[in-house]
Amino acid sequence: MSSRADIAVSYDLDPEFFRLWLDSRMNYTCGVFDDTDDLDTAQVAKLAVLHDFAHIAPQSRVLDIGCGWGNNLAYLTQERGVAEAHGITLSEAQYEEILRRDLPGVTVSCIDFRDFAPSDTFDAVQSICMIEHVCTPEEARAGHAVARYRDYFHKAWQWTSPGAYFALQTGLRDRLPRRPEDARELSWLGRTIFPGGMTPRAEDIIMAVGPYWEVMQLRTRREDYQRTTTHWRNRLRANEEHISDRWGRELFDTYDRYLTCCINSFARRHMTLSQWCLRRVDDPE
């Protein structure tokens, strides 16, 4: 699992920096561009897909594992009529931002998911690109990836009521880079932007999820993530002077390089994006 210090590197920068190049809701994950080229519209479409995958109703008690700055929690309570939504984050900055927003019907915990112990169960779970922080590169190299992901899915199973659904969105590793420079850039990205993180493989998820959740739907959106990261880079570059003046040239250059690496990785099929609809196995063997 990524440490609190690792998470701080990834997410505890000034929220105003992210606000300059993410969409207006600050979704830091792939949008869904089925009928649009507008980033804001695509991000709402993503939230709608994951709402439906989790079979959420207004009376549902919903858990968002890795809730970011609260954009999905706000969507659920303000636009889909959900009365109670709880978020988990390990980022102090994201936690403080959600508290600042004071969203009705929303509660949040700044906690490692492994230590989360809710007093009541949830009817639905969502997790949007958080599982990439569940297994470290060292754990994956030691052959522990499936075990780490299985622990994660077991926790979610323990926190839910019979009949619950789990909407999972995660990046996936696809084919290995053939060009040494691509491999070096991906390695740099992991060390610099997401230290302690590891993008899973589809087969790892399949093996890990089985005892506790049944895969009902799986959709990949590689081209959507390429378009999302292209939008982000365009917006970042449009704010180059402001970012450089306020936070320093190095930060702009680092994030420009990172987003370029993402765009290339999706274009060359080194990475893809997946959305999973999982149904709780109420009688696991």
Amino acid 249: pLDDT: 98
Amino acid 41: pLDDT: 98
Q: What is the largest CA-CA distance in the chain?
A: 58
Amino acid 84: pLDDT: 97
Amino acid 129: pLDDT: 97
Amino acid 23: pLDDT: 98
Amino acid 2: pLDDT: 85
Q: Identify the CA nearest to 132 among candidates 45, 80, 211, 199.
A: 199
Q: Identify the CA nearest to 252 among candidates 29, 44, 11, 20.
A: 20
Amino acid 283: pLDDT: 85
Amino acid 273: pLDDT: 98
What pTM did the predictor assign? 0.95
Kindly report the CATH class assigned to 4-280: alpha beta
Amino acid 149: pLDDT: 98
Amino acid 4: pLDDT: 85
CB distance 190 to 138 below 8 Å: no
Amino acid 154: pLDDT: 98
Amino acid 1: pLDDT: 83
List the chain pLDDT tens, one digit each, 285 residues: 888 898 989 999 999 999 999 999 999 999 999 989 999 999 999 999 999 999 999 999 999 999 999 999 999 999 999 999 999 999 999 999 999 999 999 999 999 999 999 999 999 999 999 999 999 999 999 999 999 999 999 999 999 999 999 999 999 999 888 889 999 999 999 999 999 999 999 999 999 999 999 999 999 999 999 999 999 999 999 999 999 999 999 999 999 999 999 999 999 999 999 999 999 999 876
What element of type H or E holds 273? strand 271-280
Integer angstrom CA distances of residue 215 from 123, 124, 173, 252: 17, 15, 19, 40
Give domain limits for the chain: 4-280
Strands (E), 174-230: 213-220
Amino acid 98: pLDDT: 97
Instruction: Count CB atoms within 10 A of the CB of residue 94.
Output: 24
Task: Give the burial string for 25-36 (b: 16+ CB within 10 Å, else e).
Answer: bbbbbbbbbeee
Catalytic residue numbers? 262
Amino acid 176: pLDDT: 87
